[in-house]
Structure 1
Amino acid sequence: MNYHILTLFPEMVLNGLNTSIIGRAAEKGLLSIEAIDIREYSTDKHRHVDDYPYGGGAGMVMQPMPICEAYDALCEKIKKKPRVIYMTPQGRVFNQKIAEELAKEEDLVFLCGHYEGIDERALELVATDYLSIGDYVLTGGELPAMVMIDCISRLIPGVLNNDTSAEFESFHDNLLEYPQYTRPEEYRGLRVPEILLSGHHKNIDVWRREQSIKRTLERRPDLLTGASLSAKEAEYLKRLEIEIEKQE
């Protein structure tokens, strides 16, 4: 996976991404992270990349020329036109399924806006996807880009020490992850569930799956509509729902 980030703040994204698991994956050559400074493509001697909006209004708008020139230079370098993701609250809300889809790409471009946004013509010429990390407004697209890159990278083989972690963590089969425990067996009067100490892996798997269903029902019931459940698991979910109704 090759990430190309079009940004006004290359140090911000590089300092954030070249650490921890993602940084180690880059060092191993499992992925590459390139921050392209949009200001380098400004023809203004002061490297301005924004101007007042036509029609009036508050703030400044990023000009189309530096963005398109930066993108054209990248396409010429890698000899293709990669997928370009523009971070905006107007886009689809990013989720695990989208991450899985994007992880299949060889190159991804993240276009980070700033100020009051980007000239619409640049978006028409460059952007292929509009994505959001939530229904709120940030000062720029760098943080959303970093969030998405972190999530996508975890799905690349070899990035995690244990590749099964990416498959069975939160949102697997639209279910939240089951509770996790480690040593000591007892802490402040709270004990690790006996089933996890039994060594019976089949029973542990069943318990974990049920805990995932229970936790999803309690915390994110909206996810259950897309959950993949066996007949027994569907019966278990129904019993939980009945119990909750009785308590109410």
Structure 2
Amino acid sequence: MHRSRGESVPPGRAIRHNHGVSVSVLLVDDQPLVRAGLRMILESASDMSVVGEASDPREASRETRSLIPDVVLMDLMDGPNGTRAIHGVLEGVRPLGHGVRVLALGSHALESHLHGALRAGASGFLSKDTPPEDLVSAVRVVAEGGAVLPPLLLHRLLDEFVPMLPSDQPQGRRPQDPLSGREREVLRLLARGWSNAEIAAHLFVGATTVKSHVGSILTKLGLRDRVQAVIHAYETGLVRPGERHANHR
């Protein structure tokens, strides 16, 4: 069992360890070096505290019940076992009435287990090569009750889900679309799952320019993050199921 800063918890007592910060996190990974790296990234943010660590599903469930963190940042491990671990963590705290949320981490090789993780109750999924600043942002979003998925994975899910929706709304962008033509093109590519670097190469502009466009898109549309931007693109007909591979290198 891995406690934060030598703290101890009396047996049977479930408490939160927020100590002046807004987001408390429990790390779950079987590799100590990975946990150390995650701790360093998260605790570099002034509004976060890593309250504990666990190295396997059983320990994760026990530590979650004991520490009641806001977010459990959990390695997806090996497929079905990772899915069962997520379910076990959430079921263990359900009787306590606390809204603990799970953010799963995995490699590209484990993306096939994304559906199982979401069905088990995870509030999001990130690959392990996610930039540190995006990881911190994702933990905040999940702690606030939101969901996080990389755009390409979200696009795959929407491709499966959208065809089941009734087509009772006309496609095409909304009459009072505030976006410029270039911003609309950036949003279209973003919604197809392209990274900022890929969009920049396609449009022959710099990555910082694309980042600026994305920020402007979110501001103009009143959206919180790229996930909501992808959903907006689908809802307005800017992107349709099956388009993700178009022109993608």
What TM-score comes out, normalization by structure 1 length? 0.33
Larger Rg: 1
Structure with the larger RCO, 1 or 2 (CA within 8 Å, 6+ apart): 1
